[in-house]
A and B are shown apart, each in its own frame.
Chain A
């Protein structure tokens, strides 16, 4: 492979993993937008989606799409229960308390998952074979195409939801000004509940599409969740397009760095970019002017 082909290859890998970061980052964003809460258990939604789907396929011999849809619904329901049980009772808590709550929840969920699924990694078959497709001298895995297509559909779907439907607009409104939203008759609590459900579903889908590439394990959510959050911050927390830009650029930079510089420092790259962003442009690439959310 020539250098330019190598770079193309890293780029493809980067866009693939970046699409997953985007999905996870969107999960953070949905909840943050409705409630200003950073849900540190977001990575656990991803893990649950992947492992539930694998169980559906391997234990109950369901076809993959059926298992995937059922897992996603289950994780969405789980998100709703999480909000009812742990978030709603503490609506006025400080952000430190909220961080601890969601972190506690993530440790709890991970612990349960390690009991249910054990600590070994699970393999999921790629959705449509593993025959690599040649692409200008580099290769494209069919699963990469799946990842990108699913991410694209979800981003477009969310755009329609927030831009065109009444519920989506109501959710945006409760994020911008909860009190004003309440005054015009929006049930803000219900919107937060809905955001947890929606975020669970998006997280679950991210887990399902990445599982054939990275394997699925009870603790896969930790680092994926953090990277997704990096994507959200890099792009500008609260801005869905920012998350797309942040996720893809994070994935590409990371993949380039791992390939061209050192694979050991791959995970450090994401966090160094994160720190630089926070220090020099904390509102994110596409962020608005400094708001008081900072």
Chain B
């Protein structure tokens, strides 16, 4: 048992995280912070999904805000225009998003590197423009107002505290699903694809199927988060789902540490709360945000969580001597 396997054993960490997350409302009484925690939870769900795609499978998506937005808009439109129950909205949103992700994913995921980045980016912008222009459905640039409150099987989730617990429930479900995917045969196949597509296909991994499958799964995470977001805020407008939000999601994955589910949650928490603390600097907010991104990437290209882990391991290794360090690396 060394530091690494200690940090990596997922279920212990999961139980600890679940207890901490569910106890949060006892500690946080301020509405503003509770609100922030809810948004962090919602973003974490999207980011965990994106990390499955980016961190584990090695594919980039610069258009994930589109799936998040589609989840929010499909459920918002069904709620505002047709007054559907929320779970039915979620089901329809998931089906539509899965279909779109599947159709887009097949040609897109044949591309690599910069081309893949550009294709997903283009897709994201097209969806964003559609949100803006299809105003008979979406309300156009001024947004969709009056999305009904969340209520599941007659149980209302009106207070922030109740909503927090709901978001927590979905987040924990997303976590446990991801941990299982990553540890399963599928997870190993995904990592093989990340390592080398040629080698993976030689070993009998159906690359195209796994890549599209994980793309659809990560889109479903985003759509679920969008559904939670729409019913929490009650109002959605295209500007929440643009290119910059896609970039922010990718940044959360990368800053948190690619290929680490806890890193995804950490990155989402950090980057969601950062602008809130930076409003302190008002006009300097976006410059500082960019600067922090740059500095973290330059000095810890493996992300903050891994960066700190590396530092710890190095310190531990220095303490135990070089032989132990070699052992850690293995």
Contacts and interface: CB of A to CB of B under 8 A. Distances in A.
Contact of B288 (A90, A111, A229, A264): A111
Contact of A107 (B115, B122, B289): B289
Interface stretch (B90-98, B129-137, B179-187, B225-233): B129-137
A271 B297 contact: no
Interface stretch (A14-22, A64-72, A205-213, A275-283): A275-283
Contacts of A278: 107-108, 111, 115, 118-119, 122
Interface string A93-106: 10111011101111
Contacts of A230: 118, 122
Interface of B is mostly: helix
Contacts of A90: 297-298, 301
Given A222-B243, A275-B123, A107 B286 contact: yes
Contact of A99 (B60, B123, B129, B287): B60
B101 to A, nearest CB: 14
Contact of A97 (B132, B254, B291): B254
A133 interface: no
Given A107-B286, A271-B126, A101 B298 contact: yes
User: What is the size category of the interface that chain B forms with chain A?
Assistant: 35 or more
B258 interface: yes
B165 interface: no
A130 interface: no
Nearest to A280: B107
B125 interface: yes
Interface in B62-115: 62, 107-108, 111-115
Given A100-B251, A103-B247, A268-B126, A111 B290 contact: yes
A149 interface: no
B54 interface: yes
Interface residues of A, number: 43
Interface in A269-291: 271-272, 274-275, 278-279, 282
A65 to B, nearest CB: 31
B250 interface: yes
B294 interface: yes
B117 A38 contact: yes
A100 B254 contact: yes
B121 interface: yes
Contact of B294 (A86, A99, A110, A237): A86
Given A96-B258, A99-B60, A294-B112, A264 B133 contact: yes
B5 interface: no
A226 interface: yes
Nearest to B123: A275
A264 B298 CA distance: 39
A279 B111 CA distance: 8
Kindly name the residue among B115, B133, B258, B283 whose own CB sees the greatest number of chain A CB atoms within 10 A.
Answer: B115
A86 B293 CA distance: 11
Nearest to B114: A38
B293 A100 contact: yes
B285 interface: yes
B139 to A, nearest CB: 14
Given A104-B293, A282-B115, A294-B112, A86 B287 contact: no
Top 9 A-B residue pairs of the complex, sorted by shortest distance between their CB atoms: A111-B287, A108-B290, A104-B293, A107-B290, A111-B286, A271-B122, A279-B107, A268-B129, A104-B294
27 contacts: A95-B60, A96-B258, A99-B60, A100-B251, A101-B297, A104-B290, A107-B293, A108-B291, A108-B293, A111-B286, A111-B289, A233-B118, A237-B114, A264-B133, A265-B129, A265-B133, A268-B130, A271-B122, A272-B122, A272-B126, A274-B118, A274-B119, A275-B122, A278-B111, A278-B118, A278-B122, A282-B111
